[in-house]
Structure 1
């Protein structure tokens, strides 16, 4: 054990006052004989037990009949700051009508294939046959066409991995990934997805994390946090709080206390897109959820996001998804 991180797991014998301990330069209250002067490397938490006096270290607490030094978990911020956001999921069966194209999506997709003969074609023209028992991860920004020759059955998830900045870590992935959970495990996941029990929801989320980690290890992909410019973080937070097509670069730049050109350059350099495109992606992602998960009318949804009328919203939506909002909603009955 590191001499600077000693842990005493038993109450010292001969509890006598008088010895002092020096922790990170601070002289402490008297300690039992035999402790003498010891060195501890911060950050640390010191807990002294029973009726003995407290150390004057950070985060001192009483706890039972022994004393120990605790090094805090350095990944605590990462643990609390990471969230797997599941935007949509479902168990789908289809014949040849499962056909379409996806252009630079704002979220990633997980396709667990149960059966059939589905396939997708990348923007570069590569065709990938999707095999039963396999899971396919198609990252945010990955454009593709999809179809099936006769039929398909799949469990799908639309996901984002959000960090404490509110941005998606999967944006850093540029290539598709594949895992082979097997048909039995996929059938088990389908059962979990159909359950209304909270513990089954936790099990399903655990399965998703397991799939993602397995893919990252298999493809030797490492997710990295980006230290985004302060102006980007401020602008993103403002966009999400005030989501509307009426937002302007000038408004966002003023809120972030930078010039319009500085903000645009930062978005292009760090997010790979313009401010306007980022706003559009957030708006239509939210509009998708409204169409799938609520009974709001098309007029109400268009008004909520600042469109001048529902017809303009419908034109923009069709241009993006190849379907009108009404047609899109019929695919996902509430």
Structure 2
């Protein structure tokens, strides 16, 4: 019976009170481990960003789309901003600044359980130069501290804004892991977007080319356990993803061919492991993640190749998609 009553409301009365639909772009910034990826996943409701406790694993712009009845929020994931040491570092910083200038709102993530440090201040100083873009301070991991410590951190964030001349649109504590205030944050960010129709009418969760996301999953698996030895010297290129021919419709198989590039021949052994054991594990782990992402069985063909000093060579960087 419920739907009968709804339709009997006069249409003009129903329409008059509705808030305008808003849509636009937001990005989260913050030092490594500030909880940006976990927050993205909590808002979108699917694992899209690659979470890691090390900087710079989210190299590509992974967008998650947050759908609500009154709006659509597109999350653009930027790489971490850091003092550049290499050509790649400088290029990443340029990407960050360009992205910041193009989004409608920025969420600055600061973990509740760590004092505001030089890394936070470095990012905040950069943010202070963007006068027009509304900025929300998000105090993440709020479940890790008691209410007094949380209150102190919220005051510290407000003070940081005052010192640097940033006027926070909001200061919000959130626990992405526990789901606390995640919905509130979504609403606050949506309110800061311009009015307009949905930018992704068919409601795709991500407009990231699937190949790039697959490459990220492989890279993540390849770095697992060897981050200290190979922090950034791995790049993954997915050469092709093609459905296997001649398979019945109810038993499809996707062939994925990918290369893991390292900088020096000496690193090959680290990635492959004794008797190829490690590369097998990398293959198994990433295959499971890829199957979960794409919802189809996958045959994964992985090769390790040397691309000499790819982080410093502009031609290689282009080829590897940077």
TM-score bracket, normalised by the shorter chain, equals under 0.3
- Give the number of the structure whose alpha-carbon radius of gyration is greater: 1
- Give TM-score, length-normalised by structure 1: 0.25
